[in-house]
């Protein structure tokens, strides 16, 4: 070869390498057969999992803005409450264990005012959940329980006040307080102020005397205007995920650290003043404002099926209840709970639910027996599961039961498996449930929350907790890629994986708000944001399909993932593609002669780096972008950017 020819060949070769680098790896060829449905996709595949962790409810979804509404204290004093003495006012405050408005809340805060007048008020300050998120022209509905030492205590003033300027943003008066415990309500209305969260609440008087207070609460406008309801911004974010079920109340929260601290549902219903509250295993107190009925109303608001986890006789610090007579009261409690959820108003617990404000029964399909019971090293779960299953199936033969650890005494309808991994692991796990990896009971190994493979003749699988744990407080783009790769595997194998829910769902991003790293949706008192992983879930949940389609892939490296589903009724094909590589990926798709509309919808989520993320200050750095892509006959040639998750919606003609 002449020197000139050699130089030309070299130039062509470098151009080819440069072009390949620009478009990424070798092209992937995908052949899809829209006329060949393979397996069904469960209509309940994507749901939500929740518990009181990371200030998910109090300081989160349950919209009460007052922190420590029931005046609990420690060695340092009454938490998040401080004394207010304006001008020459003089007062003291202390916890009073001798009086409260109810048996459940039988203590209070006692404010003794030596001196105060209308201009020089004495009272208490609440600092809220890292502030009070206040908006312009908004009504806040509040209440407190109170009694006065004498009838001449005068009005009680409640105000929202800006921390830095001391400016009163909204104020209301309760004209007088009697000498017996009673609930008083008030409304605070803001005017043309700036939205902010650096605010506090004051409750004060302008008269000497004694005032006892308990259960102070303040709600902003809530989702669907439910009284004492849920934060609208968080509900809207969840609604966009199209969740089909809610697994509640845990997680560890259903178990508690000790039996005494379990989610004792009967203590979480009825008026809030009759709920004593309890400690979450995530180390903070819950007033149980978010009780059993509130969970169900959350389901109702988002059209989700309740997936009820009942306490099964094991708590996290190792206490367990032996199967047999000792376990009977807990089994009965679960039966009562099921009746409260799904019984008619003519049943004992259905009548209680009606009394609590919800006469209509909730549709219940799944009941989960405990949580992660493989932690119980006593080996009692098999027996406990059998006892619960027998009693529940006898009374409710149509309910489907979920075991949370392998059992041999009876075959559960569903087994709950958990996965918390890094993105690289989820890239590998995308084939975890593939039929090619099919296992059988004698070959399968249980490892830290799940089997190493699935038995298609065994119980159906509920992936009740899963997440790619990269990024804190919320997942970054690398985690979203791991999640999306994993979800392609769930969809392809939804004949066996019938339900799945990411965990944890929520985190208050303030310092000290997070107990568990990598949580889907973050917020503070004023606003909230979805992580890249949240948007991946929105995309997968919005374009589910009801069956998978036969397909063949060539040239895919170990960072390319896909699933293809269809909906015959909607005449749609949904193609989910994941490019976990930093470089672009050419994808050449052949729809095997199918007649398709000439334009398809593309939804794309991508970032320049795996560490790229959203945050409370940059909530929309990474969001899905919609566009149209041309379809040539039954072909689509498409270049995916590096680090991207895409959904292509095609219409069959």
The structure tokens listed for 652 are 């069959």
User: Is the CB of 156 or the CB of 241 nearer to ligand AHR?
Assistant: 241
Q: What string marks each residue from 324 to 363 as x (binds ligand AHR by CB under 6 A) or -?
A: ----------------------------------------
| Local structure of 466: helix, strand or coil | strand
User: Is the CB of 306 or the CB of 642 nearer to ligand AHR?
Assistant: 306
Report if residue 465 touches ligand AHR, rule: CB under 6 A: yes
User: Is the CB of 503 or the CB of 525 nearer to ligand AHR?
Assistant: 503
Report if residue 248 touches ligand AHR, rule: CB under 6 A: no
With CB under 6 A as the contact rule, the residue among 109, 401, 463, 503 that binds ligand AHR is 503
Could you tell me which residues come within 8 angstroms of residue 561 by beta carbon, excluding any fewer than 6 positions away? Answer: 427, 430, 484, 485, 488, 489, 577, 578, 580
Task: Report the C-alpha gap between 388 and 484 in whole angstroms.
Answer: 36
User: Is the CB of 251 or the CB of 482 nearer to ligand AHR?
Assistant: 251
With CB under 6 A as the contact rule, the residue among 372, 382, 416, 417 that binds ligand AHR is 372
Report if residue 371 touches ligand AHR, rule: CB under 6 A: yes
Task: Report the C-alpha gap between 212 and 189 in whole angstroms.
Answer: 25
**C-alpha dist (Å) from residue 647 to 317, 580, 598, 631, 644:** 44, 15, 17, 15, 10
- β-partners of residue 182 are 146
* Three-point CA angle 363, 366, 371, nearest 5°: 135
Max CA pair span of the chain:
110
Q: Are 217 and 142 in contact (CB under 8 A)?
A: yes
Q: Are 124 and 84 in contact (CB under 8 A)?
A: yes
Angle between helices 532-542 and 477-492 (to 10 degrees): 20
Query: Considering the complex, what minimum distance in angstroms separates the CB of residue 505 from ligand AHR?
Result: 9
User: Is the CB of 69 or the CB of 505 nearer to ligand AHR?
Assistant: 505
| Local structure of 387: helix, strand or coil | helix
Task: Report the C-alpha gap between 271 and 266 in whole angstroms.
Answer: 12
Contact stretch for ligand AHR (CB under 6 A) within 246-254, 319-327, 485-493, 560-568: 246-254
Query: Considering the complex, what minimum distance in angstroms separates the CB of residue 450 from ligand AHR?
Result: 12
Q: Which of residues 505-534 bind ligand AHR (CB under 6 A)?
A: 516
User: Is the CB of 467 or the CB of 484 nearer to ligand AHR?
Assistant: 467
Query: Considering the complex, what minimum distance in angstroms separates the CB of residue 336 from ligand AHR?
Result: 24
Q: What string marks each residue from 193 to 232 as x (binds ligand AHR by CB under 6 A) or -?
A: ----------------------------------------
Q: Are 530 and 502 in contact (CB under 8 A)?
A: no
User: Is the CB of 177 or the CB of 506 nearer to ligand AHR?
Assistant: 506
Taking residue 302's Cβ as centre, other Cβ atoms within 10 Å add up to: 22
Q: Are 235 and 262 in contact (CB under 8 A)?
A: no
Task: Report the C-alpha gap between 109 and 146 in whole angstroms.
Answer: 10
Query: Considering the complex, what minimum distance in angstroms separates the CB of residue 160 from ligand AHR?
Result: 34
Query: Considering the complex, what minimum distance in angstroms separates the CB of residue 48 from ligand AHR?
Result: 12
Contact stretch for ligand AHR (CB under 6 A) within 107-115, 233-241, 248-256, 389-397: 248-256
- β-partners of residue 172 are 158
User: Is the CB of 516 or the CB of 562 nearer to ligand AHR?
Assistant: 516
| Local structure of 284: helix, strand or coil | coil
User: Is the CB of 212 or the CB of 466 nearer to ligand AHR?
Assistant: 466
Query: Considering the complex, what minimum distance in angstroms separates the CB of residue 493 from ligand AHR?
Result: 22
Contact stretch for ligand AHR (CB under 6 A) within 72-80, 247-255, 356-364, 407-415: 247-255
Query: Considering the complex, what minimum distance in angstroms separates the CB of residue 213 from ligand AHR?
Result: 34
Query: Considering the complex, what minimum distance in angstroms separates the CB of residue 72 from ligand AHR?
Result: 23
The structure tokens listed for 269 are 């219903």
Query: Considering the complex, what minimum distance in angstroms separates the CB of residue 256 from ligand AHR?
Result: 11
Q: Which of residues 398-427 bind ligand AHR (CB under 6 A)?
A: none
The radius of gyration computed from the CA coordinates of the chain, to the nearest angstrom, equals 28
With CB under 6 A as the contact rule, the residue among 47, 51, 417, 514 that binds ligand AHR is 51
Task: Report the C-alpha gap between 653 and 651 in whole angstroms.
Answer: 6
User: Is the CB of 337 or the CB of 372 nearer to ligand AHR?
Assistant: 372
With CB under 6 A as the contact rule, the residue among 47, 133, 306, 504 that binds ligand AHR is 504
Place of tokens 């009692």: 380
User: Is the CB of 233 or the CB of 257 nearer to ligand AHR?
Assistant: 257
Query: Considering the complex, what minimum distance in angstroms separates the CB of residue 417 from ligand AHR?
Result: 12
Number of residues engaging ligand AHR in binding (CB under 6 A): 10
Q: What HEC string does 589-646 produce?
A: EECCCCCECCEEEEEEEECCCCCCCCCCCCCCCCCCEEEEEECECCEEEEEECCCEEE
Contact stretch for ligand AHR (CB under 6 A) within 27-35, 62-70, 250-258, 394-402: 250-258
Report if residue 252 touches ligand AHR, rule: CB under 6 A: yes
User: Is the CB of 255 or the CB of 413 nearer to ligand AHR?
Assistant: 255
Edge-to-edge order in the sheet of strand 547-554: 625-630, 599-606, 644-651, 572-579, 560-567, 547-554, 28-40, 585-590, 635-640
Query: Considering the complex, what minimum distance in angstroms separates the CB of residue 51 from ligand AHR?
Result: 6
User: Is the CB of 241 or the CB of 503 nearer to ligand AHR?
Assistant: 503
Query: Considering the complex, what minimum distance in angstroms separates the CB of residue 143 from ligand AHR?
Result: 32
The structure tokens listed for 560 are 């390319």
- β-partners of residue 467 are 420
DSSP 552-563: EEES--TTEEEE
- CB nearest ligand AHR: which residue? 251
Could you tell me which residues come within 8 angstroms of residue 607 by beta carbon, excluding any fewer than 6 positions away? Answer: 477, 532, 621, 622, 643
Query: Considering the complex, what minimum distance in angstroms separates the CB of residue 449 from ligand AHR?
Result: 8
User: Is the CB of 86 or the CB of 515 nearer to ligand AHR?
Assistant: 515
- Residue of 623, 420, 620 whose CA lies nearest to 517: 420
Query: Considering the complex, what minimum distance in angstroms separates the CB of residue 52 from ligand AHR?
Result: 10
User: Is the CB of 186 or the CB of 502 nearer to ligand AHR?
Assistant: 502
Q: Which of residues 20-39 bind ligand AHR (CB under 6 A)?
A: none
Place of tokens 């007579």: 325
Report if residue 250 touches ligand AHR, rule: CB under 6 A: yes
- Burial letters for 419-441: b for 16+ Cβ neighbours within 10 Å, e otherwise? bbbebbbbbebbbbbeeeeeeee
The structure tokens listed for 400 are 């489907």
Query: Considering the complex, what minimum distance in angstroms separates the CB of residue 41 from ligand AHR?
Result: 25
Report if residue 251 touches ligand AHR, rule: CB under 6 A: yes
Q: Are 544 and 487 in contact (CB under 8 A)?
A: no
User: Is the CB of 407 or the CB of 503 nearer to ligand AHR?
Assistant: 503
Binding site for ligand AHR (CB under 6 A): 51, 250-252, 371-372, 465, 503-504, 516
């Amino acid at each position: 070869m002449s020197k000139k020819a050699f130089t030309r060949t070299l130039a062509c070769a470098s151009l080819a390498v440069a072009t390949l680098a620009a478009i990424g790896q070798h092209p992937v060829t995908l052949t899809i057969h829209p006329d060949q449905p393979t397996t069904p996709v469960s209509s309940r595949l994507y749901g939500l999992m929740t518990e009181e962790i990371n200030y998910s409810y109090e300081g989160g979804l349950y919209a009460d803005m007052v922190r420590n509404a029931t005046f609990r204290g420690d060695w340092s004093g009454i938490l998040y409450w401080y004394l207010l003495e304006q001008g020459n006012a003089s007062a003291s405050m202390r916890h009073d264990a001798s009086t409260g408005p109810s048996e459940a809340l039988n203590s209070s805060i006692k404010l003794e005012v030596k001196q105060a007048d209308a201009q020089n008020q004495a009272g208490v300050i609440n600092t809220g959940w890292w502030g009070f998120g206040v908006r312009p022209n908004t009504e806040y509905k509040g209440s407190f329980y109170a009694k006065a030492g004498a009838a001449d205590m005068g009005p009680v003033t409640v105000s929202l006040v800006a921390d830095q300027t001391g400016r009163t943003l909204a104020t209301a008066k309760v004209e007088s307080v009697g000498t017996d415990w009673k609930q008083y309500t008030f409304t605070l209305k803001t005017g043309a102020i700036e939205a902010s969260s650096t605010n506090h609440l004051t409750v004060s008087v302008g008269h000497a005397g004694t005032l006892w207070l308990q259960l102070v609460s303040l709600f902003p406008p809530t989702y669907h205007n439910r009284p004492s309801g849920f934060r609208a911004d968080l509900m809207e974010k969840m609604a966009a995920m199209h969740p089909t079920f809610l697994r509640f109340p845990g997680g560890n929260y259903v178990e508690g650290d000790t039996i005494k601290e379990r989610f004792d549902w009967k203590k979480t219903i009825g008026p809030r003043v009759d709920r004593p509250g309890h400690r979450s295993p995530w180390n903070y107190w819950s007033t149980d404002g978010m009780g059993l009925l509130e969970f169900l109303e959350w389901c109702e608001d988002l059209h989700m099926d309740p997936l009820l986890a009942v306490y099964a006789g094991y708590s996290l610090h190792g206490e367990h209840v032996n199967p047999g007579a000792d376990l009977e009261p807990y089994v009965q409690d679960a039966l009562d709970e099921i009746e409260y959820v799904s019984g008619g108003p003519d049943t004992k617990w259905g009548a209680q639910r009606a009394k609590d404000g919800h006469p209509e029964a909730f549709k219940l399909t799944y009941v989960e027996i405990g949580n992660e019971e493989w932690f119980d090293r006593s080996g009692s779960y098999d027996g406990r599961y059998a006892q619960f299953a027998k009693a529940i199936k006898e009374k409710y033969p149509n309910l489907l039961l979920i075991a949370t650890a392998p059992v041999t005494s009876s075959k559960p309808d569903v087994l709950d498996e958990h996965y918390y991994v890094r993105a690289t692991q989820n890239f590998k796990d995308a084939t975890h449930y593939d039929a090619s990896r099919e296992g059988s009971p004698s070959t399968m190994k249980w490892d830290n929350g799940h089997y190493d493979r699935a038995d298609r003749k065994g119980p159906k699988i509920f992936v009740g907790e899963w997440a790619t744990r990269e990024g804190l407080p919320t997942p970054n783009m690398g985690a979203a890629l791991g999640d999306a790769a994993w979800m392609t595997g769930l969809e392809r194998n939804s004949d066996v994986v019938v339900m799945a829910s990411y965990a944890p769902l929520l985190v208050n991003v303030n310092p000290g708000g997070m107990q568990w790293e990598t949580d889907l949706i973050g917020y503070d008192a004023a606003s909230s944001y979805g992580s890249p992983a949240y948007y991946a879930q929105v995309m997968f949940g919005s374009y589910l399909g009801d069956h998978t389609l036969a397909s063949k892939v060539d040239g895919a490296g170990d960072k390319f993932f896909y699933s293809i589903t269809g909906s015959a009724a909607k005449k749609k094909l949904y193609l989910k593609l994941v490019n976990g590589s930093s470089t672009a990926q050419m994808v050449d798709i052949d729809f095997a002669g199918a007649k398709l509309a000439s334009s398809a919808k593309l939804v794309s989520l991508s970032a320049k780096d795996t560490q790229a993320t959203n945050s409370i200050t940059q909530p929309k750095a990474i969001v899905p972008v919609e566009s149209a892509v041309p379809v040539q006959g039954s072909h689509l040639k498409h270049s995916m950017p590096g680090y991207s998750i895409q959904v292509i919606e095609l219409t069959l003609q």
